[in-house]
């Protein structure tokens, strides 16, 4: 039997990301799991729900650019640290080595993350408690080790998934079936 469980947000797990910004000349990193894919065309837009109470918002709004880093499960400690310490009182700039791409120096990326994207701020949606930053992807870099035929191999990235119910990081399981393919068996002949 089904049970009503109130207005629980059941849209988990979500991908755990680390956004990189620069504030007062110093790189700052924030863990963000409330992420979305806004469209899958050209240009490509991503969304990030960031509480207005955080330090990072200032950097994203001022620079109009930020990085989106995808940590692997071996970075769980650093990822969590970026999510429990605020740049208002803690210098998080030297926890992990950073790098930049030309023209986007205000969006520091994390060397240890196998995949990083640069997003230009396209829009900010002003919700009661959160800024939802819509970023347009302008560049993506990936470690060669996580690529297969020049595409990102998610099993090699081994990303951290976040679940709010258990308040735990999870990892990927096995692939289940081909997408846009498994359903074909139900097509009427």
The least distance separating ligand FMN from the CB of residue 142, rounded to whole angstroms, comes to: 22
CB of 43 to ligand FMN, least distance (A): 23
Choice between 53 and 182, CB closer to ligand FMN: 53
- In the bound complex, what is the minimum distance in angstroms from residue 99's beta carbon to ligand FMN? 20
CB 46 within 8 A of CB 38: yes
Write down the least CB distance from residue 128 to ligand FMN, Å: 13
Of residues 54 and 120, the one with the C-beta less far from ligand FMN: 54
CA distance linking residue 172 with residue 128, whole number of Å? 33
CA distance 174 to 81: 28
Of 56 and 98, nearer to ligand FMN (C-beta) is 56
Nearer to ligand FMN, 122 or 164 (CB): 164
Tokens, residue 30: 């924030």
CB 41 to ligand FMN: min, Å: 24
DSSP letters of 132-172?
A: EEEEEEEEEEE-GGGEETTEE-HHHH-BPEEETTTTEEE--
| Rounded CA separation 32/14 (Å) | 10
Q: 99 phi and psi, to 5 degrees? A: -150, 165
**With respect to ligand FMN, which residue has the nearer C-beta, 104 or 133?**
133
Binding site for ligand FMN (CB under 6 A): 16, 28, 30-34, 49-51, 54-56, 80, 83-88, 162
């Amino acid at each position: 039997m089904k049970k009503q469980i109130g207005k629980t947000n059941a849209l988990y797990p979500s991908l755990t990301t680390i956004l990189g910004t620069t504030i007062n000349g110093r790189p700052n990193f924030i863990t963000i799991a409330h992420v979305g894919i806004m469209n899958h065309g050209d240009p490509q837009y991503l969304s990030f729900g960031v509480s207005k109470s955080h330090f990072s918002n200032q950097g994203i709004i001022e620079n109009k650019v930020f990085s989106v880093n995808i940590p692997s499960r071996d970075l769980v400690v650093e990822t969590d640290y970026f999510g429990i310490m605020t740049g208002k009182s803690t210098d998080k700039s030297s926890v992990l080595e950073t790098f930049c791409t030309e023209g986007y120096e205000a969006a520091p990326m994390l060397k240890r993350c196998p995949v990083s994207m640069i997003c230009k701020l396209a829009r900010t949606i002003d919700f009661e408690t959160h800024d939802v930053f819509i970023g347009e992807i302008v560049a993506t870099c990936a470690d060669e080790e996580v690529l297969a035929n020049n595409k990102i191999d998610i099993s090699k990235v081994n990303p951290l998934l976040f679940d709010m119910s258990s308040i735990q990081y999870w990892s990927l399981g096995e692939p289940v079936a081909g997408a846009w393919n498994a359903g074909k068996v139900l097509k009427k002949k």
